């Protein structure tokens, strides 16, 4: 299990701030499925998830998890 805490610059975050969009909605609808499909290409047993309670600008960082499942 890898927990990724991202503090780096993010184009989605910047666009959401400029357009007054909620990153929790935009990231879930726009990116969650595509990231999962990408990691499945690497290994179908990897599950991607994002903690929507820890996502910028509502938190200090965005927290994402990559977990090997059976």
17 band by pLDDT with thresholds 50, 70 and 90: very high
Distance CA 50, CA 66 (A): 9
- Give the residue-averaged pLDDT of 10-20: 98
2, 63, 26, 21 alpha-carbon torsion, rounded to 10°: -170
How far apart are alpha carbons 56 and 54 in whole angstroms?
7
d(CA 46, CA 25): 23
The answer to whether the pTM exceeds 0.85 is yes
Q: Give the pLDDT of residue 38.
A: 97
Q: How high is the pLDDT of residue 7?
A: 98
* Signed CA dihedral, 10, 53, 66, 20: sign only: negative
At 29-64, the pLDDT tens digits run: 999 999 999 999 999 999 999 999 999 999 999 999
Q: Return the domain boundaries, the chain.
A: 2-68
């Amino acid at each position: 299990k890898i927990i990724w805490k991202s503090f780096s610059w993010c184009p989605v975050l910047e666009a959401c701030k400029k357009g007054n969009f909620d990153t929790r909605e935009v990231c879930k609808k726009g990116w969650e499925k595509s990231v999962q499909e990408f990691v499945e290409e690497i290994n179908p047993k990897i599950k991607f998830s994002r903690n929507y309670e820890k996502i910028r600008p509502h938190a200090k960082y965005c927290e994402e998890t990559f977990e090997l499942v059976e």
